[in-house]
Amino acid sequence: MSGLVAEVAVAAPLDRTLSYLVPEALVSNARCGMRVRVPLGRRTATGYVLDVQTGAVDGLKPVIELLGSEPAFPPAMVDFFRRAAAYYQYPLGEVIRTALPAGLSGGNHEVKALTERIYQASEMVGMPRGPRQRELLDYLRGVDCVARSELLTVFPNCQSSLRALVDQGFVLEGQRERLRDPFSDMTLAADTSVDMTDRQAEVFASIDAALQQGGFQPMLLHGVTGSGKTEVYLQAIEQVLRSGRQALVLVPEIALTPQLVSRFRARFAGGRASLAVLHSGLSLGERFDAWRSVARGEVDIVIGARSAVFAPLQRLGMVIVDEEHESSYKQGDGFRYHARDLALMRGQMEQALVLLGSATPALTTYHRACQGKIAYLELPQRVMSRPMPEVELIDLTQDRPEGILAQALKDALVANLERGEQSLLLLNRRGFAPYLLCADCGEALRCPHCDITLTFYLGQKELRCNYCDFRQPPPDQCPACQGADLLPEGAGTEKLEQELQELLPTARIARMDRDTTGRKGAHQSLVAAMEKRAIDVLVGTQMVAKGLDFPGVTLVGVVQADNLLNLPDFRAAERAFTLLTQVAGRAGRGERPGRVFVQTYAHEHFALDCCVRHDYVGFAREELALRQELGYPPFGFLVNCVLSGAVREQVEAAAEALVAELLGPAMDLGIEVLGPAPCPLARLRGKSRYQLLLKASTRPPLRHLLTRMPVLRRALPGKVTMTVDVDPLDM
Ligand code: ADP
Ligand code: ZN
């Protein structure tokens, strides 16, 4: 028997798509992009229709219902989803679920469209009798069509006159969808393009030429901090819009980049282009509406974090990935994609220009540019001939601090405050102290669920795990030896803030880290206070290094460079160089030049030396040589398989069994298998974790080996789970 068959990607851990019969009642609306509920074994699941065709339907189960009334993505996205799923070896249905905003993914959060009543004068001539009705009708005849809510603000209490006009036929009543707009109550001064500097103009000309040429054009814009990359993005977008195509702008974290988003909105607001912001800080309803207006083709520019790479634009001309080196582009759980890499994939599939921007490109990106696989554009100087900040290392073996801050940095802070200029301090540890240490036995208090020490918070009188959020009051005695002397060891931002208050009693000091920015709007009000110069010294974790543009900041201090350099990760030097360069780049962006102090015990480390000299290329050369020696990215490709479960012995045994299965085929393919070994964080949220790392000099063998994973996963003991991370960033 033949009939309509839907190919459905079910949001479940399946290796393939499934076919379902489209029942008669759903035929008219079943098409690609629709969300459906389908039977799966003895339960039901959400799925996404990829294709509908006539075919044999014998034995097929029917689709139960359609969810929503319009497609969640256009047919052109299907190939992109398929390639992304294949690249990351992740189930297609789960890929699509991750790509869609929560309100559309078909879970428990299904969001409904909002509607509103609208009114319009009819063709009927003449006038009603009552003066209020006349007034109202006059108004309606002068406008196009008005929403009820709007009419009520112009004519308060007009409900009964309106009803009368509708009843007499003077006015037509209808309904339309009302989109939730998170920015409706925000007004912005319009902003126009500025005259670009010669260097900006040169870079822009290259981008423009690539746009004219068309096709897939990957480009890296390597511009030092404060070199004016954003202006180049803005003008490139105008070109894209002029050619009738759309632009997608990815930023690391919307909540942390309010300034960039405002600049985009100011430039394109006021009807020049419609712009949608997609991010997780929006309400479900706002995201649902923004997504659907993009899917309907009503939006020219989409700005969003990581997941916006899946925005359903259909005339994509350009993708910008700002701060492309940022690790937040990598999703840390579930479908572990990298938005920059998917942006390149999408650009290639849709023949778009992909512009990666950074002052500190990821070494993998820079290496590709050196190989000529990505065009290289450079802005080597700050705009308006502003100098790069002067970076000095403070050798902590010489200038030994009593507390956290060395004398040289203290002096600079005092002097900066006296001049009325702003300072920024980076310390990559939250809380008051990273350990509470027993003075008798030397034990640190640890999280009962994770293999990590508990952070001590003085203000809240609390110990907290920064991984699983376990909390407890500080005990009176050491749990190991009953000693009564528990001392905070090391320093976090809370303690630094306290030390600063003693050093600068008159200064206005604020702290920016995950603890002070948890509430909605808290980060934004800190940014606003910095802009208004209502803060003299801002203390914070790496959050303060990210893309902020405060012209009043002339002094930046890095309190502990060593804990960045000493991470057990082959990318530690790259991470440290990037973070230091980025935070240093916050200094001297305005009229006055900036100074940067970096406190360290490792003052001879090449990453620090290159940072002092603003020498990205020198750093890259040295670090790439080390990577090449070890066969690490970009000279090799990695896949990390992490096994986890409650019982350590079980996980270890499963990891060893897995290696035994993989070793033979891996050797045949020229893949190195490292491990199994406990993960750096060997226990997390009560689960023990083991990893094995697959390493190869090219990708195809890895991809080939990964096709075995579904079978191997099914062979794992019931209580052990495995995640596969392609191109891992954290290991
Ligand atoms: P980046 O993103 O490269 O760090 P920005 O785009 O934030 O740099 O630019 C740094 C500062 O210089 C901003 O305050 C910006 O308004 C200003 N700026 C950029 N281009 C120009 C220009 N052509 N003329 C004057 N000021 C500019
Ligand atoms: Zn924990």
pLDDT digits over 489-502, tens only?
999 999 999 999 99
User: How close is the Cα of 500 to the center of ligand 2, in Å?
Assistant: 30
Supply the residue whose CA is at minimum distance from atom 9 of ligand 1.
228
Substitution site in 378, 383, 384, 616 for ligand 1 pocket (most atoms within 8 Å of beta carbon): 383
Output the CA angle 309-542-531, nearest 5 degrees. 90
User: How close is the Cα of 589 to the center of ligand 1, in Å?
Assistant: 9
Could you say which ligand is closest to the alpha carbon of residue 452?
A: 2
Query: Minimal CA–CA distance to 678: which of 706, 652, 654, 704?
Result: 652
CA dist., res. 99 & res. 80, Å (int): 11
User: How close is the Cα of 421 to the center of ligand 1, in Å?
Assistant: 20
User: How close is the Cα of 322 to the center of ligand 1, in Å?
Assistant: 14
Task: Enter the tokens of residue 32.
Answer: 């690609």
3-class secondary-structure state, position 35: strand
The total of other beta-carbon atoms located within 10 Å of residue 592's CB is: 15
User: How close is the Cα of 445 to the center of ligand 2, in Å?
Assistant: 11
Q: What is the pLDDT of residues 408-421, one digit of tens each?
A: 999 999 999 999 99
Supply the DSSP string of 294-333, one letter for each residue.
Answer: HHTT--SEEEESGGGGG---SSEEEEEEETTT-GGGB--S
Task: Enter the tokens of residue 441.
Answer: 């036995």
Q: Which CATH number fits domain 2-99: 3.40.1440.60, 3.30.420.40, 3.50.50.60, 3.30.1360.120?
A: 3.40.1440.60
Question: Residue 641, annotated ligand binder?
Answer: no
CB 561 within 8 A of CB 394: no
Supply the residue whose CA is at minimum distance from atom 12 of ligand 1.
228
CA dist., res. 96 & res. 48, Å (int): 8
Residues in the chain: 731
pLDDT band per the 50, 70, 90 thresholds, residue 61: very high
Ranges in the chain annotated CATH 3.40.50.300: 198-374, 390-432+492-627
Substitution site in 221, 233, 549 for ligand 1 pocket (most atoms within 8 Å of beta carbon): 549
Predicted confidence at residue 123, as pLDDT, reads: 86
pLDDT band per the 50, 70, 90 thresholds, residue 186: low
Predicted confidence at residue 445, as pLDDT, reads: 93
CA dist., res. 384 & res. 493, Å (int): 34
Residues above pLDDT 70, as percent of the chain: 97
CB 462 within 8 A of CB 471: yes
Supply the residue whose CA is at minimum distance from atom 1 of ligand 1.
226
Supply the residue whose CA is at minimum distance from atom 18 of ligand 1.
228
In this prediction, the answer to ipTM > 0.90 reads yes
Task: Enter the tokens of residue 137.
Answer: 């009708």
Residue 509 carries which DSSP code? E
Question: Residue 32, annotated ligand binder?
Answer: no
When the pLDDT of each residue in the chain is averaged and rounded to a whole number, the result is 91
Q: Which helix (H) or strand (E) holds 653?
A: helix 648-669
Mean pLDDT of 456-475: 93
| C-alpha dihedral (488, 489, 493, 494), degrees to nearest 10 | 10
CB 63 within 8 A of CB 6: yes
Ranges in the chain annotated CATH 3.30.70.600: 637-726
Q: What is the pLDDT of residues 137-173, one digit of tens each?
A: 888 888 888 888 888 888 888 888 888 888 998 988 8
Q: Which fold has domain 198-374?
A: Rossmann fold (3.40.50)
Q: How far is CA 648 from CA 283, 507, 663, 677, 682, in A?
A: 40, 51, 22, 12, 9
Residue 483 carries which DSSP code? -
Ranges in the chain annotated CATH 1.10.10: 115-177
pLDDT band per the 50, 70, 90 thresholds, residue 598: very high
Can you list the positions of beta strands (E) in 380-483? 390-395, 422-426, 435-438, 455-457, 462-464, 471-472
Q: Which among 271-285, 353-367, 515-529, 706-720 has the top mean pLDDT?
A: 353-367
Predicted confidence at residue 259, as pLDDT, reads: 78
3-class secondary-structure state, position 730: coil
Could you say which ligand is closest to the alpha carbon of residue 451?
A: 2
Could you say which ligand is closest to the alpha carbon of residue 469?
A: 2
Asked if the model's pLDDT at residue 185 lies above 60, the reply is no
Asked if the model's pLDDT at residue 644 lies above 90, the reply is yes
| C-alpha dihedral (267, 271, 274, 280), degrees to nearest 10 | 70
Question: Residue 611, annotated ligand binder?
Answer: no
The total of other beta-carbon atoms located within 10 Å of residue 414's CB is: 12
**Residue 11, C-beta contacts closer than 8 angstroms, at least 6 positions apart:** 45, 46, 47, 48, 93, 94, 96, 97, 105, 106
Question: Residue 481, annotated ligand binder?
Answer: yes
Predicted confidence at residue 146, as pLDDT, reads: 83
pLDDT band per the 50, 70, 90 thresholds, residue 692: very high
The residue whose two tokens read 């229709």 is 49
Please give all residues whose CB falls under 5 A of ion ligand 2, grouped by chain where several chains appear. 447, 449-450, 465, 467-468, 470
User: How close is the Cα of 194 to the center of ligand 1, in Å?
Assistant: 9
User: How close is the Cα of 685 to the center of ligand 2, in Å?
Assistant: 6
Supply the residue whose CA is at minimum distance from atom 2 of ligand 1.
229
Q: Which CATH class is domain 390-432+492-627?
A: alpha beta
Answer with the residue of higher pLDDT: 555 or 293: 555
Query: Minimal CA–CA distance to 445: which of 495, 486, 494, 492?
Result: 486
CA dist., res. 304 & res. 264, Å (int): 12
User: How close is the Cα of 464 to the center of ligand 2, in Å?
Assistant: 8
Predicted confidence at residue 557, as pLDDT, reads: 97
The residue whose two tokens read 């030396």 is 609
The total of other beta-carbon atoms located within 10 Å of residue 194's CB is: 12
Supply the residue whose CA is at minimum distance from atom 15 of ligand 1.
228
Predicted confidence at residue 111, as pLDDT, reads: 67
Q: Which fold has domain 115-177?
A: Arc Repressor Mutant, subunit A (1.10.10)
Check the CA dihedral 414-416-422-424 and report its sign.
Answer: negative
Substitution site in 225, 230, 249 for ligand 1 pocket (most atoms within 8 Å of beta carbon): 230
User: How close is the Cα of 645 to the center of ligand 2, in Å?
Assistant: 15
Question: Residue 450, annotated ligand binder?
Answer: yes
Is the backbone peptide bond immediately before 448 cis, with ω within 30 degrees of 0? no
Residue 404: half-sphere exposure toward Cβ, Cα within 13 Å: 28
Q: What is the pTM of this model?
A: 0.88
Supply the residue whose CA is at minimum distance from atom 4 of ligand 1.
226
Range scoring the smallest mean pLDDT among 95-104, 200-209, 581-590, 669-678: 95-104
Query: Minimal CA–CA distance to 722: which of 699, 676, 691?
Result: 691
In terms of Cβ atoms closer than 10 Å to its own Cβ (0-12, 13-18, 19+), residue 182 is middle
Supply the residue whose CA is at minimum distance from atom 23 of ligand 1.
196
Question: What number does CATH give the domain 637-726?
Answer: 3.30.70.600
| Ligand 1 binding residues, C-beta < 6 A | 194-197, 200, 223, 225-231, 383-384, 549, 589
In terms of Cβ atoms closer than 10 Å to its own Cβ (0-12, 13-18, 19+), residue 730 is middle
